[in-house]
Amino acid sequence: MKDSMTLPRRHLLAGSAAALSALGLAGWSGRAAAQAAAPKPLPAYAGWKSSDALIVHSSSTLETKRSAFGTSVITPSNQLYVRNNLPAPDAAILNDRDAWTVAFEGVKNPRSLTLAELKTLGVETVATVLQCSGNGRGFFPSKPSGTPWAVGAAGCVVWSGVPLRNVVAALGGLADGAVYLTGTGGEKLPEGVDPLSVVVERSVPVKATEDALLAWEMNGEPISLAHGGPLRLVVPGYQGVNNIKYVQRVAFTSAQSQARIMSHGYRMSPPGTKAAPDQPSVWEMGVKSWINGPLPEKGTLKAGLVQVHGVAFGGTQAVKGVEVSVDGGKTWQAARLIGPDLGKFAWRQFVLPVQLGAGTHVLASRATDMAGTVQGEQRDENVGGYNNASWRDHAVTITAA
């Protein structure tokens, strides 16, 4: 569970059977072994989800199967991955959603506002890619500690809520010295420990305020407990950990949070080092794509015309184009973007019809964003297994006959 905690923090949470199970996964030695084991049941707070579409790694980590993404843009809520840094709060917090209260600091007129009050300040809808920063960790040969996600710790969802910039304006604007937007989650913290060692609190550059949303709906429904309801801080283009669930405090600060999940968690630590505050934080997502079909688990294909399809996104940049290779990257062909364009923060579906002869084929995709950045061939090696956008890692090998 290194996605969210250092080793001491994991031990703090190891009192439950679920946590012990998750710790067992930290030593997982191969994705195939995990999938070959008997499927785990869905945890109670996510029992409404589709078990056929998900891999249950632990009570706090559910992964969408690659084969479940299909060819539509939006990921259905019941198939969307789950990654919780702490156990979900009691479902009673959803009984009176409008009574949920958020404290605002670092503005000229600091105060607390209920969700009912926030709803009077405006409504906006945005489609975003929601992705765990460890998505693709399972492809690292170094086998970093943490959930061995393949591609399924991601999805494209639609949020509705109040733009954070509207709230800031209603509270008189930013106070002087605001450098970071800091969000604090409302999970119940374990007793008897330093709150900073466990609290889910993340800081991102204050520029993110312009696009951030305090969302109360996801995919047209009130946000579920599994995904941060009744209110979630959505930071479009940024990795999932920065999209704070059960948000109860929004502060504009001169320094980054001192919470361990910020100061040492989610840092791009070079191999052989330990996480430290001076290392780059996991913030914006980079340009990335992968193929969702055809897939090897579907068995041997019939040789002939095949529709190669997948998804591509650019973090805070829109996708300009996608190329597909059927020979492991030796040659590339331009794919076609399909479906509605839901904005620069959403992903785009792509397709390329190809003629495949009998034999083995390595299918890969690489995306280019509007700034001209091309998805890289190699991963950025780091201790935590974060930010893997390697097109080679995400390639699939299929057989046609």
Tens digits of per-residue pLDDT, 54-112?
999 999 999 999 999 999 999 999 999 999 999 999 999 999 999 999 999 999 999 99
Q: Predicted confidence band at 317 (pLDDT cuts at 50, 70, 90)?
A: very high
* Rounded average pLDDT over 348-367: 98
pLDDT, greater one: 9 or 72: 72
CA gap 397, 104 in Å, rounded: 50
The mean predicted confidence, pLDDT, of the chain is: 92
Q: How confident is the model at residue 11 (pLDDT cuts 50, 70, 90)?
A: very low
Average pLDDT of the residues in 294-316? 95
What number is the average pLDDT over the span 353-372? 98
- Whether pLDDT at 294 is above 90: yes
Name the percent of the chain lying above pLDDT 90: 89
pLDDT grade for 34, boundaries at 50, 70 and 90: very low
Whether the pLDDT of residue 377 is over 60: the answer is: yes
- Asked whether the CA dihedral 18, 20, 26, 27 is positive or negative, the reply is negative
**Cα-based distances in Å from 369 to 129, 206, 240, 320, 344:** 15, 23, 20, 5, 10
- Supply the DSSP symbol for 48: T
pLDDT over 70 for what percent of the chain? 91
Query: Is the model's pLDDT at 17 over the cut of 80?
Result: no
Region 328-352: mean pLDDT is 98
Quick check: helix, strand or coil at residue 97?
Answer: helix
CB 45 within 8 A of CB 82: no
pLDDT of residue 29: 41
Position 285 scores a pLDDT of 98
Task: Out of 6-15, 133-142, 174-183, 384-393, pick the least confident.
Answer: 6-15
231 has pLDDT over 70:
yes
* pLDDT at res. 37: 57
Give the residue-averaged pLDDT of 112-127: 98
Q: Is the dihedral of CA 382, 387, 390, 395 positive or negative?
A: positive
The residues, any chain, with a CB within 8 Å of residue 185's CB and separated by 6 or more, are: 85, 86, 199, 200, 201, 244, 245, 246, 247, 248
Identify the band that residue 297 occupies on the pLDDT scale cut at 50, 70 and 90.
Answer: confident
- Tell me the average pLDDT across 381-386: 98
The whole-number pLDDT of residue 19 equals 37
